[in-house]
Structure formats: C-alpha cells, structure tokens
Structure 1
C-alpha cells in the first residue's frame, strides 16, 4: 500500500469502499496526489491494472457551499451520454469514516491537461487554434443542453441567478478576506447597478478553462473530458464565457497564477475572438458582455483570496500557492478598469 504525498488518504479504506461500488476486481491500491491542484485535492489511484481519480474537499478553511463532492458527482453522472465529454463516474462516498470527508471516484482518462505555458508551448500553432475551437464548440454544446433532458431540471434556479451570485460572492469575500480591499465594495456596487436586462439560462459549468480539459495526446483538438464540475448549476450560461475570458491570458499582460500564461502563445485566439466565436456558435448577441467579463474577474479574485486564506493557514496541498494572493489586486484592478471603460449602463460608475 502507498500514500505517496497523501498521508491523510487511507488507501486501505478506499480500496474496501471501491470494491463495493466498482465492477470487476480491485486490487491493492497506491495513491498519488496530482500536482497542480489548488482547490479540491485530487488523487490518482491504481491497482497496477486499472486506474481511477479520487476527489475530495480541501482540509481547513472551506467556504460555505464550496467543494460539494455530491454536486460534482451528480453533474458528471448526468452528462455521461450528452454531447459534452466527461469521465465515467464510479461512486460517491458520503461516509466521513472512510477518509475523513466525502469524496467520489471516476475513471482516469488517459490524456493530458495543459496547465502552464510550458505545456501549451509543446503544441503547434495549428493545434492551439484547434483546441481553442473545440473548447468553444464544447461550451456552446453544453449551454444548448436542455437540463430536463439529462435529469438536471432541479439543478438550480436560473431566475435571479446573477443577483444571487453577487450576494454569494460578497459573503465569500467576507468569509475569506485577509486584507482590506475597497475595490470589492465598489465593484459590487457597479455590478448591481449594471445587471444585464436579459439572461441566457442553462447548465453552467462554473470553472470552464483550459486546464479543466483532458485532451487527447495525439490530437490536442480532441477533448476527452471536461473536468471540475464542483461549481456547476443552472443559471446564466454566459457567466461561463466570462470565466473563460478571465483565465485566457494574453502576451504582454499579467498572467493569472492558475493558468500561468497557458494561452499567451501564437495560435490561441484573443478574448474578443473567443466572445465572437461563442456568440456565433450559439446564435446569440450579448450587448452586456462587459458585465460578464467584469464579474468574472471579480469572482476569480475572491476565489483566489479564499485559496490564499487556506494557504496562510497551512491547509493547501500541491504546489505554486505562495503567489496566489498577489493576483487578487491585479484582477480587481482589471475589473475596475473594464467597468470604467464600459458603455453598459451602471457599470462605468
């Protein structure tokens, strides 16, 4: 048995639980913490013959409503036969006696994830362009799904979604803030004043970005699976586009520490081009797009502050946490700059 980089993960208990939910034989397990995880600790499990992925909530400081393993598990299970590629789910464990927290297990996809510019630099310009195109197609296909068709009609409440989001992220900031940031209150005021007049309801992933794609090693334009559904719900689908654009790094700008300049290379389209492609794919026009871009930077800044809070308490696992808190200010600043330059009523201040 092994608990490599995963002392709190009792692989004996995990093995016994897995034998009760998986088909076929499950042998002795080894577990390895996957590098790069900054939110939910994620482990690769193997018995030497078969491989799985286990995800659990982080230890220590955990924001209310965040890191819901049951929610992520249900989203993946519901989308298994849809146009959106996802890994097969194996089982959900809500018994804390197994590893001390709820967790779920899914198949390990045999592909690669692109987390940094060093990763995407291995692709050709044509492959980068192809991957971006596939991501936009996949996002549009997700948003075209009728939630009732996949058993998710009760997944959330699209009506009033954006208003609730603003209240939620204000609470999250209050629960996580490690320093005074007057920009948060100012952005919240502007976002409330400039709320879009219409919405685009559907299934929202909540964290759609390049490093949440598992792609084919031999064909990077082929997405094997969309991962990390913990924040999924029913709501305004254009918020996913905003999140993608916030994480979409450009050369000559600061890089988000999560994506680390992964898209700041030739071949990847610009944010404006992503927006255009998405609208064309969905056949919609979003005159309030600036609101979604500002909201995305606002939301991600608060998420990074929460990660920073856990890091300062010693409750993060993996690598590259030290600089996360340094990105909160730049993201809030970019959000204010975008808001001030916007023609959206109420957003400019």
Structure 2
C-alpha cells in the first residue's frame, strides 16, 4: 500500500473478504497482493496481483456520495459492451454488487501495460511528428466512441439522449448545491450561480445523439509502451509512434450529446497563448510545445472524422469548466467531512473560485477557442 493511510486503506479493502471472493470466482492462488493507485481523484483504483494475473479493481470512495456519482457497475456495463468494437478497451473480468465483500459495488479488469500522459510527455514522444500524432489519436478515438452503434453492442436504454444536455446543466447544478451545503461554511462562489443561469438559458435546442464517455481527456487514455530505440552515432532512432491502446474511467458514460465530450476534452487541452491554468494540479502543460495541435486543429479534425459541427462552442466549453468546478466542490465537501485522503481536495477552496472566473471569461468571449 502506498500514498495512503492504513486507516483509509482498511476502509477501501477488506483483504480477507476480497481474497475469499476471488478464490470462488477466479480459482485459488498463493500470490495475492493489492495496492492503491493514488493518481485518481474520483472512484478508487487499486492494483491487484492474483497469481500470474495483473488486475485493476475499481470501487467508489467510502462515505456518502452525491446523486449518481461513482456508479462503477454502470462503468463496467459500458466497458464490457465495447469489448469487440473499434474503441480500444481493457479486458473486463467481473463485476460484484455484493456489499459483504468490500462494502460497495466494484469490478475487475485486466491491467493494460502502457503510458498515460499525465504530467509530462515521455522522451520517446518528444518530437513534432509524434506530438501531432498524440492529438490525432486522441480525437480519432473520441470519434470512434461517438460512432459506436449502441443498440448493436447492447447499450440500448443505457441513457436518455433526448434532453441530455439540459439534464447535464441541471445535474451539475444539483451537485454544486449538494456540495455547497458544507463548502459554503468556509467560503461561497457566487460566480457559479451566474454561469449556471447562463447555461440554462443557452442550452442548444438540437444536438446529435451518440454514446458519450463523460470524462474523455488525455490522462484517461493509455498509449502502447514503446520498443527500446536503436542507438546510432547520433543517439536514439526508430522511436515508436504514439498508439492509443485503452480508454479508461467510464463512470460518467451515457447516451447523449457528443459535443459535451468534445468540450470537456478541450477544457484540459492547452494552447501556447493560454493564461495560467485555474487548476494547475490537474492541468498538464506539455501540449503547449511545438508540434501539438491547437484546440482549433483538434476541433477541425473531429469535424472531419465525424461529419458533425462544433457549434455553440462557448456553451460547451463553459459547461465543461462548470462541471470541473462542481467536481472541485464535491472534492472539498468530502475533505471537510473527513471522507477523503487526497491532498488535492483541500486545495479546492481556492481552485474552484478560479475555475468560476475562467467560466465567466469564456462566457464573456475573453477566452476564445
């Protein structure tokens, strides 16, 4: 176990109960170990070794959760349905809704070997052609998600696409209301009320209906591990180009408006001209370097790949930042109530107001695409 207190870890995992359950489901083994992956900030991710198998366990955080957040069985359902599609997916193993095992729902999937671009780019991608390809792979995979025939893969009824975008605004307003029951005791963020009112008044009347991921961004995908480069007189050669091999974190997936996904992806993507990020702890900046596509270029490629047009960009980008602020307030509430062991959560007292200011800049046209 790493980067987590022993008390918090015991709230996440009853190792004996889990071992007993897995012996029934997967067969006995002499080799069993488990450790928490500390990079996530929503559902909990734990790495398991079960004999020769390397697995990943996903479960909600302990304590009360807001509304339908942290629905890991929903996440498992969509991942299982996409196993034989063009969307690159980890292999699903099992899902468990018996709370006698861990005190919550959870599921297991095979661990994917690869590289997640979170804080920095790997040295093997540090050239313009590979940087460009990272953006292309990211957009092309998003287009593949939005092109899935959801009825053919068994996801008919997975959501209600009609009215999806309106419900997004309403839902995140409720999440903020839930969080602010506690967070308003330390400070208030009135700018979020203005943003919420603007979004309610400017929801697009029409939009496409597709499968949506709900949290699609660069650090929720994995790129294939690169082969060791040959070394000549001038240094490494034959670097493997970026190949996207898995999409993770499907807990917010649904049938709905694909442009909500695109707006979310863009909210994390940096252009060289951008101001300082409102939430630096969750904002990588390496895509400001030479070779990475701009947000405008990502949008252009998405429109070519899907045949859709990214209209109402202020709405979709402001909605994304509004949702980020909602997540931040939920994080802060969990911290204030003692239900989180994440050092990011207390920082939300200052980061959420900064996000609210960013959303206002988008609405006012001061932060264009």
**TM-score normalised according to structure 1 size:** 0.91
Given candidates 92, 111, 125, the residue that maps to 1:123 is 125
Structure 1 residue 188: deviation in Å? 1.5
Match of 2:176 in 1: 173
Give distance in 2, aligned partners of 1:29 and 1:278: 43
Q: Please give the secondary structure, in 1, of the residue aligned with 2:10.
A: coil
User: Rg: which structure is higher?
Assistant: 2
- The DSSP-based 3-state class of the residue aligned with 1:196 is coil
* Residue 275 (structure 2) aligns with: 253
The change in CA–CA distance for 1:120 and 1:302 in structure 2 (over 3 A counts) is: farther
Alignment-derived partner of residue 208 in structure 1: 216
Deviations 1:83-136 (A, max 9, x none): 10111111111111111111111000111212113x456631332221111010
Where in structure 2 are the equivalents of 1:310-349 lying within 5 Å? 310-341=334-365
Query: Are the aligned partners of 1:187 and 1:336 in contact in 2 as well (CA < 8 Å)?
Result: yes
CA contact (8 A) 1:53 1:108 kept: yes
- Counterpart selection for 1:11 from 12, 15, 18: 15
Decide which moves more: 278-287 or 87-96: 278-287
Q: Give the secondary structure class of the aligned counterpart of 1:98.
A: helix
Q: What's the CA shift for 1:262?
A: 4.8
Provide structure 2 residue ranges, at least 5 long, that are not aligned to the other structure. Answer: 227-239
Superposed counterparts of 1:22-101, under 5 Å: 22=26, 26-101=29-104
What secondary structure sits across from 2:19 in the alignment?
A: helix
**CA separation in 1, counterparts of 2:348 and 2:262?**
22
Distance 2:2 2:133 in 1: 38
How many residues of Structure 1 are paired with residues of Structure 2 in the alignment?
340
Offset of 1:335 from its aligned partner?
1.4
The aligned counterpart of 1:151 is 154
8 Å contact kept, 1:38–1:316: no
Once the 2 structures are TM-superposed, how far is the Cα of residue 236 of structure 1 from its aligned partner?
0.4
Is it true that 1:279 corresponds to 2:278 in the alignment? no
User: Compared with structure 1, are the counterparts of its residues 145 and 306 closer, same or farther at alpha carbon in structure 2 (3 Å cutoff)?
Assistant: same
Q: Which has the higher mean CA deviation after the structures are superposed, 204-213 or 55-64?
A: 55-64
- RMSD, aligned α-carbons: 2.2
Q: Distance in 1 between matches of 2:284 and 2:258?
A: 25
Q: State which drifts further: 223-232 or 26-35.
A: 26-35
8 Å CA contact retained: 2:46, 2:58: yes
Give the TM-score of the pair, scaled to structure 2.
Answer: 0.86
Q: Identify the residue that residue 196 of structure 2 maps to in structure 1.
A: 188
1:136 has 2:160 as partner: no
Distance of 1:143 and 1:133 partners within structure 2: 15
Q: Does 1:293 align with 2:317?
A: yes
Consecutive unaligned residues in structure 1, runs of 5 or more: 343-349
The residue that corresponds to 1:347 in the other structure is none
Other structure's SS at 1:292 match? helix
Report the Cα offset of residue 318 of structure 1: 4.8
Q: Equivalent residue of 1:323, what SS?
A: helix
- After superposition, the Cα gap between the structure-2 partners of 1:276 and 1:325, relative to the gap in structure 1 and judged at 3 Å, is farther
Worse overlay, 65-74 or 305-314: 305-314
Which residue pairs with 1:345 in the alignment? Answer: none
Moved more, 318-327 or 239-248: 318-327
Task: Check 1:30–1:262 CA distance in 2 against 1; reply closer, same or farther (3 A cut).
Answer: farther
Residue 64 of structure 1 deviates from its aligned partner by: 0.9
Does 1:21 find its partner at 2:62? no
1:7 shift after superposition: 2.9
